[in-house]
Amino acid sequence: MKFATVGIIAGIVAIVIGIVVLVGVYFFVYKRVVQSGERHGIVSSGVKAYKNAKQAAESEKRLYATGRDAEAVILEVHDTDFATKRYTELELLLEVRPENENAFRVRTRKMISQSHTSLFQPGAKLKVKYDPAHPEQIALVSSPVPGSAEQKDATHRLEELKTLRERGLISDDEYKKKRQEILNNL
């Protein structure tokens, strides 16, 4: 009988010790590591990135359903140096050309499948949806279609023009004027 009582008491003590250890681990890991990381921006930057990606996906989903159709021409493409296994983030300057409305420009960042990034070149056209109330919100509907030979020539001319400006061979005003002429002829 005494051995049974000692065994029961030992079992209860072991359970209590286990609970104390679990509570200690919780306070150490969660309170000290996670919350400390949140205060110092370690964990919060990952949480912010997740929330931003989720918000962008919801915005694009809404645009697919309610946005207006338009054609866009890629004017500039920049790699942001952010990539995952399958996607690369590109910063795009687009000239959006809605039917029966004035064209406008928008700069946006999009995660693009690495197998499609080579299609994103200046002069390429693609279908987009946009929100007229917030034209900076753009959803890409199609992959870019490479520009025609004329558009590729315009791209080459724009690159040459940029080089001339960077070397100081033409003024900023001359650059802007000639650039607009080239873009108007697309």
Per-residue pLDDT of the chain (186 residues; tens, 9 = 90+): 566 677 778 778 888 888 888 877 776 666 665 555 555 555 556 667 667 777 878 888 888 888 899 999 999 999 888 888 888 889 999 999 998 889 999 999 888 888 888 888 888 888 999 998 888 888 888 878 765 555 557 777 888 888 888 888 888 898 888 888 877 776
User: Does 59 reside within a domain?
Assistant: yes
133 with 159, same domain: the answer is no
Rounded-to-integer distance, Cα 119 and Cα 98, Å: 22
pLDDT for 7: 73
116 with 178, same domain: the answer is no
User: How many structural domains comprise the chain?
Assistant: 2
User: Does 121 reside within a domain?
Assistant: yes
Q: Cβ–Cβ contacts within 10 Å for residue 6, how many?
A: 10
User: Does 5 reside within a domain?
Assistant: no
**Domain range for residue 88?**
51-140
Residues constituting the chain: 186
133 with 167, same domain: the answer is no
User: Does 34 reside within a domain?
Assistant: no
126, 106 contact by CB (below 8 A): no
For every residue of 108-177, DSSP letters joined together read: EEEEEETTTGGG--TT-EEEEEEETTEEEEEEE-S--B---HHHHHHHHHHHHHHHHHHTTSS-HHHHHH
pTM of the shown model:
0.55
110 with 163, same domain: the answer is no
pLDDT for 148: 54
125 with 168, same domain: the answer is no
User: Does 170 reside within a domain?
Assistant: yes
User: Does 42 reside within a domain?
Assistant: no
